[in-house]
A and B are shown apart, each in its own frame.
Chain A
Amino acid sequence: MPENREDDQQLIDRFGGHGINRDNAAHFRGRLERRLLMSRCGDCGRWQHPSRPMCPDCWSWNMTPEEVSGRGTIHLLMELHQGPPAEGVDYRDGHPVVTVELEEQPALRFTSTVTADFPDDDLEIGAPVELEWIDRDGTPMPVFRTRSA
């Protein structure tokens, strides 16, 4: 696919805070379509996040962005009481940040927050969650909501 500089610049402008680069651009393009894409090896089938150009397991360069289910369990959890300003983020009661271990592969994880109506009682390590999309500054953002195990 030929490079489209105008298109690339727009993507960079929208996700400038996320450390976007040539190797993870497909992941961020997927977000615009509300699809959570992660890099997967076409030869050994292993997933990789964050996206890098070569499979560390088999050295294949046949890496393609594929959609993950978004289902998993909370592996790491913290509540931020201060941090950078962001739309919809209120640090006064603690802004939850969760690292979710996805069901696709052990230790394949994605870090985000949870929906505003996530029950406080359910917010704990080990809790089952699934993907949901919200908007922040007009850009789709993947977050997690509670699910029954």
Chain B
Amino acid sequence: MTTRNPMKDQVAIVGLGSTGFTRDGDRSPLAMALAAATEAIRDAGLTAADIDGVVATSEPGADGPEVIAAALGITEATHHTKPTPVAMFSLLDAARAVFTGAADHVLVVTPVVMGPWNSRRAADDPWRRGTRSSILPIPEDAGKAAAYAAWASRYIHEYGASKDPFARIAINSRTNAAHNPLAAIATPLSFGAYDAARMIRDPLNIYDMDLPVDGADAFVLTTAERARALPHHPVLIHAATSGIVGKNDEDQLVGLHRTGQHVVVEQLRRHSDLWIDDIDLFYPYEGFTIITLAWFENCGFCPPGGAESFLREHWNDDAQRIEIDGRIPVNTHGGSLSEGATRGTGHVREAVHQLRGTAGPRQVEGAQAALVTPGGFFFNPQGAVLRRA
């Protein structure tokens, strides 16, 4: 548990690209990765010749960094890795490569691909049938995605919570998606529609979980110093980490009072000069709504079990969205409940857009700092404090 953070403010995110996300994709994973990558490199004011690091998330069905490098016409690279999915694993890897001098301009590509394991539509697509998981699913499994419904039941039991705070997370995302052209689903959601929704894994319904989509995000990272010469105002990685507890098998986790989220928050607080009173934007992951309630509580906005009253008190009823202290909006792009299962890349992309002032109709004026917390409870909690240079 180190307090050292020599990387503080030394690495900048300077390029963004995204295909947007869809439930009706007809492009290959490589085509999506390349579309996002070329956009991000151009956005950074660079060319393929400048890129000397390629980080390609090891998403099932997606291509490795060697394929991306060849397809983009990158000359040579001295850093090439394929980290586990969920946004910060790849971004942390790229940032550390820049900071250590392994590479100067690192491209991160994070495609997501609907597969026959998570989508009936994808199972009917002959181009996707080859990508198949070797483990056959069984109903009696509290691992993987189902774990979030199982622990949501425990949360409701321990705190006597209602579904109201879950509904507010889902509605907030859909409200904010209205002005995000990248979103797969941007229709507003009402409390009535939420309450009437089809149960998938009771206590979670169809609006409590993100849906599989096709699409890709891409980022370019370089040193804070080089960033000053590039077209956009640099956004610096002030602090960033991932975190797990040792006993993290989904159904063996001791309890929600001690998960990887707590490890992430404690590490960020040791490494960051800025915390929740200093930020202008909050991007808690909401691939499952229960995850978001936990991020609110674990980041210290409210005590354990306090999300229900906190969200009610910080709800803008006219706008139908969360505004912390009337000031800090949450998931301004509509999150994963609107863009789909992007594994938090959208949360990072949107934070960077906001901090450099390129968020268009969603722009929060004067935003200087953002807290981004992708990941869930078990093997992928992570977080970052990003700030405008």
Interface residue ranges, A against B (CB under 8 Å) = 16-19, 49-50, 56, 75-84, 86, 89, 94-95, 97, 99, 106-109, 111-113, 125-126
Contacts and interface: CB of A to CB of B under 8 A. Distances in A.
Contacts of A106: 254
Contacts of B252: 49-50, 107-109
Contact of B150 (A19, A77, A112): A77
28 contacts: A18-B135, A19-B135, A50-B252, A56-B246, A76-B150, A78-B150, A78-B202, A79-B199, A80-B200, A80-B201, A80-B202, A81-B198, A81-B199, A81-B200, A82-B200, A83-B137, A84-B137, A86-B138, A97-B140, A99-B142, A99-B150, A107-B254, A107-B255, A111-B142, A112-B140, A113-B140, A125-B153, A125-B157
A94 B150 contact: no
B360 interface: no
Interface in B141-164: 141-143, 146, 149-154, 157
B247 A80 contact: no
Given A76-B154, A97-B150, A86 B202 contact: no
Given A16-B135, A76-B251, A78-B203, 12 more contacts: A49-B252, A56-B247, A76-B154, A78-B142, A78-B146, A78-B150, A83-B139, A84-B137, A86-B138, A99-B251, A111-B141, A111-B251
Contacts of A56: 246-247
A95 B137 contact: no
Contacts, number: 89
B145 to A, nearest CB: 11
A113 B140 CA distance: 6
Greatest chain A CB density within 10 A among B138, B151, B154 is at B138
B202 A97 contact: no
Given A81-B198, A99-B251, A17 B142 contact: no
Contact of B136 (A17, A76, A97, A113): A17
Nearest to B204: A78
B93 interface: no
Nearest to A107: B254
Contacts of A113: 139-140
B142 A18 contact: no
B308 interface: no
Contacts of B204: 78
A77 B140 CA distance: 11
Interface of B: 135-143, 146, 149-154, 157, 198-204, 246-247, 249, 251-255
Nearest to A19: B135
Contacts of B137: 17, 83-84
B140 A111 contact: yes
A75 B153 CA distance: 9
A75 B250 CA distance: 13
B154 A75 contact: yes
Contacts of B253: 107
B254 A97 contact: no
Nearest to B141: A111
B139 A89 contact: yes
A85 B135 CA distance: 14
A78 B151 CA distance: 9
The 7 closest A-B pairs by CB, nearest first: A17-B136, A76-B150, A79-B202, A84-B137, A78-B149, A125-B157, A111-B142
A115 B151 CA distance: 22
A103 to B, nearest CB: 16
B135 A97 contact: no
A5 to B, nearest CB: 19
A97 B139 CA distance: 8
A126 B150 contact: no
B150 to A, nearest CB: 4
A94 B151 contact: no
Contacts of A95: 139
Contacts of B251: 76, 99, 109, 111
Contacts of A126: 157
A17 B252 CA distance: 20
B193 to A, nearest CB: 17
B72 to A, nearest CB: 36
Contacts of A78: 142, 146, 149-150, 152-153, 201-204
Greatest chain A CB density within 10 A among B138, B139, B141, B142 is at B139
B122 to A, nearest CB: 15
Contacts of B154: 75-76, 125
A141 B140 CA distance: 11
Nearest to A79: B202
Contacts of A109: 251-252
B288 to A, nearest CB: 12
